[in-house]
Structure 1
């Protein structure tokens, strides 16, 4: 077939035409392998890019979560109280306030309570099912519930209160504390209330607490206690308010010494007369060791016999004391005969036999108190009463039971402190001079104020104005130096003796010196009887406690992030633990100010917990 024919049949350059295969040279193979490698590199590059993006997203996610957690820790809800989200800084304010308050009250005695502020609180047991951290957590939660419950109620009632003065006082105390501790205000606040605390946010917490406290006081002031309520309460609780007059003679049993005590006494006596150089401590230890060794080698029968012998000796001693008491009892016919017999029978005749105006809680032992306050008791009744704990018998003569009608009093005063400012580097002579000068200055100032009052209107109102302007007693200055319903023994001795002088009458004034300084006094007059005011106070406290319970019961505390362990303990276990820091929030604002004054002393609390 010719070429022309092939073309016409479509075989030349057509679709079915085939070219001879080209032979692959070494160069061609090299280039092919290079192209294949480039394709593999491009593929790996795409995979690496995708993996890098995924890793980057993971890193961004982790960092974002950490940032979110950090932000939440500082600004998110640490706990939720009702509808209120409480940030960690606010929670720690109440947490460390509880610690500061306890330290200011107990100070170095905290160690006796098993609390060491230099160690983690969650590693120290407060009780079997509760750590010290749990305890302060519970206090903080209790305070938060009360504050938020009260501020919610205040807002609902349209109650308004200007807390600026409270906040300013707080700031002043913080600045003073920081200066005394040689810290900046910022560092001092953090040391006292936690790492997230700032002066601004703590001021807002003080303001909120002050509003809560003011609203609580307004409810308390509006709560009425009627005379009928007081009388009914007295009738149901007479034993707590009545007083008794009686005579008592204590006759102690001459109890035998324990075997170990006798051995130690004998050894000590021998040591005191010997010429040996052995120390007393070493001798006592040796005696104890020898006694223990002897006891350990005794058979059970010998131990039982020794215990029985000891018990028999003790019973004999008590029987002898009882015989003596019974003998005295038979000779008593009246008060005079009791007092004549007293010196003969009393173990310690220097102790006064006559007891007057004694409350049940003050009578000891309790068996004597129960006998005295028995409703069947009549004047002239006598009895011999055993005191097993004290190894003694009491011969008791009942004289009278009655309700003490002593009145309380109202008084105003202006305190001028005589405390001197001293430093550790001062000598004793310099300190004494400083104290003497401070005392003289205080006396002169008190006299000047007293003269100013007498030269002026010389009224109770003018005295109150001077007290507000000059008194250094923060507990009464805001009320014009007024203390109401003061009971006997409530004030320091000289103050107490002046206001309860039988000759005292309304309007009396004088300057009285106490350990606190000089008091310019103004006697206002008598108030209600002491028993009445005590019951009135108890009933008011009960009503306010009931009010707070009802107010906070529905306020749920939620700890979604698991910050507070004790909240997750079962209800049964929770009920066995102690209550919150206080039954009411009446003192919240006042305690806040007081805590900041001692925060310098307790700066280790927040710092330790960091």
Structure 2
């Protein structure tokens, strides 16, 4: 059984367990040593490679230091050194902090440059072959699933054993389906009266473009990601209080391009008295969309679309950043009508269009596509493996140095 150890800030760290084998003092020391070790390795590697920070990177360090000074002033400290001692303990002053920031950021910026260099060195053929070896972990899965309740119904004299047997029989009856429509029909037929409205829509049981990593049940994941899975395959799984029935439909190998776009969301107002959307409020929102698109067409540029977002957007669309910008969006990040629009093969860079879904109009500006996603997954994994191996190869050499430095620091 797993044990949860909560940190008590009023008790010494070496008297509190972080895990069965470590105290909090051990854990924090190990984490600090590992960070110090990687930082030292990357700084030395960067200097040997002649890596120099650019002006933007130097400005980032300066801003971090300025933020510390601002925090000191905001907390009524007229001396940054006193603020640092109050926040982090003795041994840290402004001069040492600046050195730490420079060392830490240098390691970060060099590691980013190094990883990008590796990514650029991998060929598409190498990336495709690597992804193929990992596809079971990363191909997206589309399937249908439905839970048949097997809870006891004491009021009607049905004990748990009988209820579970009935649930299995129902699940197996649904599992004879070999098409999506048949699966939907059988689910609707088996659903209780209070659920029929939900399952009248056959897509209520559909799970589209699901990443295997998000499937927490290992039995389900093993079955769904089995390379032998084919359209129409079905199975059942026993749960504590019923049975799940699954139908596999398709596997997405991620051989598509990531999408980049901007979005302006315009909500349809509801009647103040009834709380419902009316034909008048829907027409008003539609008129606003038409007005926005007309204004865009007067100057069909991305900059104009950004400016219009400030005027017309009533809320941000899911996942948006500044000016409603979405970058490197993959299929598992979107669903429904928005996914259908964004990933439609009809989309072209520079076009503007809209959809209406979930009581909201979404107006889109399509940008140039990103990289092919399976190759992006591969280059990220390949570069991470190479990074880990590089650090591991040098870790023993730096272990003694960092241990000595850390021990000296703890004495201060």
* TM-score (structure 1 length as normaliser): 0.47
Does the C-alpha gap of structure 1 residues 121 and 215 become closer, same or farther in structure 2, counting only changes over 3 Å? Answer: same
Q: Within the alignment, does 1:178 sit opposite 2:72 as a pair?
A: yes
Residue equivalent to 2:395: 552
Q: Within the alignment, does 1:355 sit opposite 2:203 as a pair?
A: no
How many angstroms does 1:504 deviate by? 5.3
Q: Within the alignment, does 1:125 sit opposite 2:17 as a pair?
A: yes
The answer (yes or no) to whether the contact 1:167–1:206 under 8 Å persists in 2 is yes
How many angstroms does 1:171 deviate by? 1.9
Q: Within the alignment, does 1:321 sit opposite 2:167 as a pair?
A: yes
Residue equivalent to 1:308: none
Does the C-alpha gap of structure 1 residues 394 and 499 become closer, same or farther in structure 2, counting only changes over 3 Å? Answer: closer
In 2, the alpha carbon distance for the partners of 1:134 and 1:233 equals 38
Listed as ranges, the matches of 1:417-432 within 5 Å are none
**C-alpha root-mean-square deviation of aligned residues, in Å?**
4.4
Write out per-residue CA displacement over residues 454-475 of structure 1, whole angstroms, 9 at most, x where no aligned residue.
Answer: 79xx799xx9xxxxxxxxxxxx
Listed as ranges, the matches of 1:57-456 within 5 Å are 114-161=6-53, 164-184=58-78, 185-223=80-118, 224-255=121-152, 314-330=160-176, 332=177, 334-346=179-191, 349=196, 350=198, 352-363=204-215, 365-383=217-235, 385-388=236-239, 390-410=240-260
In 2, the alpha carbon distance for the partners of 1:222 and 1:131 equals 39
Secondary structure in 1 matching 2:244 = strand
Number of equivalenced pairs: 334
The answer (yes or no) to whether the contact 2:5–2:19 under 8 Å persists in 1 is no
In 1, the alpha carbon distance for the partners of 2:77 and 2:182 equals 71
Secondary structure in 2 matching 1:212 = helix
The answer (yes or no) to whether the contact 1:253–1:392 under 8 Å persists in 2 is yes
In 1, the alpha carbon distance for the partners of 2:220 and 2:234 equals 11
In 1, the alpha carbon distance for the partners of 2:233 and 2:388 equals 42
Does the C-alpha gap of structure 1 residues 497 and 199 become closer, same or farther in structure 2, counting only changes over 3 Å? Answer: farther
In 2, the alpha carbon distance for the partners of 1:215 and 1:115 equals 35
In 2, the alpha carbon distance for the partners of 1:551 and 1:412 equals 44
* Matching residue within 351, 373, 390 for 1:530: 373
- Structure number with bigger Rg: 1
In 2, the alpha carbon distance for the partners of 1:504 and 1:333 equals 33
In 2, the alpha carbon distance for the partners of 1:412 and 1:329 equals 42
Does the C-alpha gap of structure 1 residues 245 and 153 become closer, same or farther in structure 2, counting only changes over 3 Å? Answer: closer
In 1, the alpha carbon distance for the partners of 2:84 and 2:352 equals 44
In 2, the alpha carbon distance for the partners of 1:336 and 1:499 equals 26
How many angstroms does 1:499 deviate by? 6.9
* TM-score (structure 2 length as normaliser): 0.66
The answer (yes or no) to whether the contact 2:258–2:369 under 8 Å persists in 1 is yes
Runs of 5+ consecutive residues of structure 1 not aligned to the other structure:
1-111, 263-311, 414-449, 464-475, 511-520, 565-609
How many angstroms does 1:526 deviate by? 0.1
The answer (yes or no) to whether the contact 1:122–1:131 under 8 Å persists in 2 is yes
How many angstroms does 1:126 deviate by? 0.4
Listed as ranges, the matches of 1:571-610 within 5 Å are none
User: Highest relative contact order (Cα 8 Å, sep 6+), 1 or 2?
Assistant: 1
How many angstroms does 1:132 deviate by? 1.3
How many angstroms does 1:372 deviate by? 2.9
Runs of 5+ consecutive residues of structure 2 not aligned to the other structure:
264-294, 307-320, 354-363
In 1, the alpha carbon distance for the partners of 2:208 and 2:326 equals 28
The answer (yes or no) to whether the contact 1:246–1:397 under 8 Å persists in 2 is yes
In 2, the alpha carbon distance for the partners of 1:343 and 1:251 equals 12
Does the C-alpha gap of structure 1 residues 157 and 336 become closer, same or farther in structure 2, counting only changes over 3 Å? Answer: closer
